Amino acid sequence: MTATTIPIKSVLSAEEIAAQRAPAPDTLRLPPADLFATRAARLTSLARGHAMGEYLNFCARLIAVQDRALAALKPAARPDAALAERCRSHGMPLLDAQGGDLDASAFGAFGQALALILEEAQTFAPAPARDIIARLKGLGADALAKEARLILKAEPGFDTGYAPFIGAALQVDWTRRARALEAGDVFVREEGSLCPVCGSHPVSSIVRIGEGGHGVRYAVCGLCASEWHVTRIKCVPCQSTKGIAYSALDGEGADRFKAVQVETCDECKSALKLVSLEKDPNAEPFADDLATLMLDMLVDDAGYQRAGRNLFYFAP
């Protein structure tokens, strides 16, 4: 399987493309209630006949547990109005993943989500993963919080085997918090490279269909799953419009993953997936990213660095 570079046919600049949008798209889309259920179903479908089918099925089952964990948690409260106003005035993320509260105790949302995820995952995890689960269960709240902070900040020093389980619990916690918000609570920076809700990196970007911006591109947060509007044919990490190219899988993966391209930027040498619902309305950014890791490997060989952060596949 190889990657095919797709030429950019438009002769318009990114600014001209943006100017022709009508009506104006939503600048922020908060995560839906069925996020994890939809994601799990998509990944289960993609796992059939896939070379990585066993791994994708495991991830799909883990995501299904996330759905149950989210439902089991008490809904988050709306943030304090004064805090929201302060974050808007200073352009800061309201649910800061870098320095925000993280309660890994049995009484905290993260701690509760992780406990449920570990308990259920041990019933279907392969033997090596069960060993990791046993080690995680033996860690105290402070040690768990430390590992989680390292993962959130993408800093070295944590056990990479912990990442899918801790990452799954972090996603549940921050998605729960994001669902308590209204779009007006959040300052959305124009063409921002990080999530305006929590400050995390995108997992990929998506071209949406339907109301709120048909054909409009959004970056998708790898942590809280919020989406923020970004211009098409423009690098999300560095905002450059120069040296942008698109590659996609060919051969046996071409039709099955027709919705997925990877956008590469020659200015910053980054690569970020672009998932198009126009090409496949059933595609889901997180799931389709996991199922097309071969595409990441191919552009990595070409000298580009993966910019998307998928907490189930952590490569520090």
Please state the pTM of the whole predicted model. Answer: 0.91
Euclidean distance between CA atoms 187 and 273, whole angstroms: 25
Beta strand segments in 28-180, E: 28-29
**pLDDT tens sequence across 119-150:** 999 999 999 999 999 999 999 999 999 999 99
State the pLDDT at residue 10. 41
Euclidean distance between CA atoms 68 and 71, whole angstroms: 5
Mean pLDDT value of segment 82-91: 90
Euclidean distance between CA atoms 163 and 155, whole angstroms: 12
State the pLDDT at residue 297. 93
**pLDDT tens sequence across 48-64:** 999 999 999 999 999 99
Homologous superfamily in CATH for domain 3-30+189-306: FdhE-like domain (3.90.1670.10)
Indicate the CATH number of 35-179 among 3.40.50.150, 3.30.365.10, 3.90.1670.10, 3.40.309.10.
Answer: 3.90.1670.10
State the pLDDT at residue 22. 47
Give the containing element (helix H, strand E) for 176: helix 163-179
Euclidean distance between CA atoms 239 and 169, whole angstroms: 31
Mean pLDDT value of segment 19-41: 84
**pLDDT tens sequence across 155-196:** 878 888 999 999 999 999 999 999 999 989 999 988 899 999
Percentage with pLDDT > 90 across the chain:
78
State the pLDDT at residue 47. 97
State the pLDDT at residue 17. 45
Mean pLDDT value of segment 30-45: 98
Euclidean distance between CA atoms 257 and 52, whole angstroms: 14
Contact status, residue 177 vs residue 96, Cβ threshold 8 Å:
no
Mean pLDDT value of segment 99-113: 94
Average pLDDT, the chain: 91
35-179 matches 3-30+189-306 in CATH topology: yes
Euclidean distance between CA atoms 271 and 52, whole angstroms: 22
State both tokens at 59: 């991830």
Closest CA to 42 of 284, 311, 294: 284
Euclidean distance between CA atoms 263 and 235, whole angstroms: 8
Strands 270-276 and 202-207: parallel
Question: Could you tell me the residue ranges of all domains in the chain?
Answer: 3-30+189-306, 35-179
Only one residue has tokens 């919080």, namely: 145
Around 80, how many Cα atoms within 13 Å sit in the side-chain half-sphere? 4
Euclidean distance between CA atoms 221 and 97, whole angstroms: 11
